[in-house]
Amino acid sequence: MKHLVRLLVFQVLLISCSQSKKEADSSNQVAIPLVRLEKIDSIQIAFLGSPIVQDIDPNSRTILFTEPGNYSEDIYVTDFEGNIIHSYSKFGNLPDTYGVLFAPLKIVGENAFLAYGINGLLTYDFSGQLLSRTKILDIQPYNFAKKSMGFSLGILEEEYLYFDQGSRNIDYSYRRLYEEVNAMILLDKITGKREEMMQIPESSLYRNGKYFYRDAWAPIFELTEDELLVVYGAEPKIYVYEKTRPFRLIKEIPLDIPDYNFYKGEDVYNPDSFLNFFSYGRIETITQINGYFILGYFPGYDPQDLATSKENKSPEEWQEFRQHMLKKYPHRVAIFDTNGSLINDFVPSNVDPRNIVQRDGQLWAMGKVDMDIERDYFMVYKLELKFDD
């Protein structure tokens, strides 16, 4: 009996000491402040239609947006009070047309913007007057395009930087494609020379020997003061490159995104694999400000919904399922520190995560579009990082 009492006392003391150690360890941990995005200003623009914000410039206090149609594309220039100053079209059979846009319009001066299209690099003033045109050598129709402000051209000293938009002639059943493809291009500002560059790193998901859907590796990028940040497709990793030639890879920052279900490839080539684009997760924008990475992303379906998405459905059933998934899996924002540690992850209330950009040290975003309510205006928000202890 005495032996049993001693054993019980020893176990109590052991548990107590262990608990005290845990409390001590916990008290020594440095609390990480929660970082969130807060709206600090807003611009309401009266417009009934389907606007797409192309760019925003705090210096000239100008916003560019477009409204695409079946056979048209109108450009609108507004001020920060929400007044539409100019509207016109450069699409179609016009002497100064850009033809078809390859990238979002980019504000490049106090009174000018750049259009990168099939007819080259064209610069217009805000009233729509053509200022300059540079033909692009060896231009090709793109395989995909992203035409909102979260996917703008990068401006370097002598060139513009953009992601390679692929070719419709690529053979996706060719396994070595992933070793040979170039992810980025440079466009010379003066000559229009187009240079392919930046092969996918060997450590990347897209070099794992498997097959992926068309352009699954398509990168998003951000130019900072000294570096080029690249995320390849859905891969949860930031690749940090030098900002100048030869664009040497400096480091890789793995990211742990909660409940992020992304496509990891297939062992056998599947010509119908592009359907996975709509159900698996993907990273859509990257921004860096004040030492924090801000990522906009789609989380992807859970395994049960993935299985349901592949079942045979009538058009009506598919439409109902799709609408349910859009509400169940909204686009999200994840904030990381410079080491890749997750600081916050959330669904913004009114901001579209796919259109958060940094302009001259300020964060801006287009407001979410409510598909259930037609409004005669849309919103653009100025954001700021806020720290909660």
User: 231 - beta bridge partners?
Assistant: 220
Distance of CA 83 to the CA centre of its chain: 28
133-159 residue pLDDT tens: 999 988 878 888 888 898 999 999 999
Distance of CA 84 to the CA centre of its chain: 27
Which amino acid would we find at residue 254? P
Task: Give the pLDDT of residue 66.
Answer: 96
Q: Report phi then psi at 206, rounded to 5.
A: -80, 5
Task: DSSP for 158-179, please give it.
Answer: SEEEEE----TT--TT-TTHHH
377-151-209-265 Cα dihedral, nearest 10 degrees: 0
Distances in whole angstroms, Cα of residue 116 to Cα of each of 52, 94, 208: 16, 16, 34
Token output for 113? 């913007």
User: CB count, 10 Å around CB of 51?
Assistant: 21
Query: What are the counts of helices (DSSP H) followed by strands (DSSP E) for the chain?
Result: 4, 24
Which amino acid would we find at residue 334? A
Token output for 216? 């699954």
- DSSP letter at 207 equals G
Mark the ranges of the chain whose per-residue pLDDT is less than 70: 1-32, 389
- DSSP letter at 273 equals G
Does the CA dihedral 72-78-84-87 come out positive or negative? negative
Task: Give the pLDDT of residue 143.
Answer: 84
Task: Give the pLDDT of residue 31.
Answer: 55
User: For all residues of the chain together, what is the average pLDDT?
Assistant: 90
Token output for 152? 């703008």
CB 59, CB 359: distance < 8 Å: no
Of residues 159, 160, 154, the one with CA closest to residue 230: 154
* Residue owning tokens 């975003």: 365
Token output for 389? 């202890």
Task: Give the pLDDT of residue 296.
Answer: 97
CA angle (302, 306, 309) in 5-degree steps: 140
194-204 residue pLDDT tens: 999 999 999 99
Does the CA dihedral 207-210-215-221 come out positive or negative? negative
- Taking the model in full, what pTM does it have? 0.89
Task: DSSP for 125-148, please give it.
Answer: ETTS-EEEEEPPTT----S----S
User: 357 - beta bridge partners?
Assistant: 364
325-361 residue pLDDT tens: 999 999 999 999 999 999 999 999 899 999 999 999 9
CA–CA separation, 179 and 237 (whole Å): 18
User: 114 - beta bridge partners?
Assistant: 106, 123
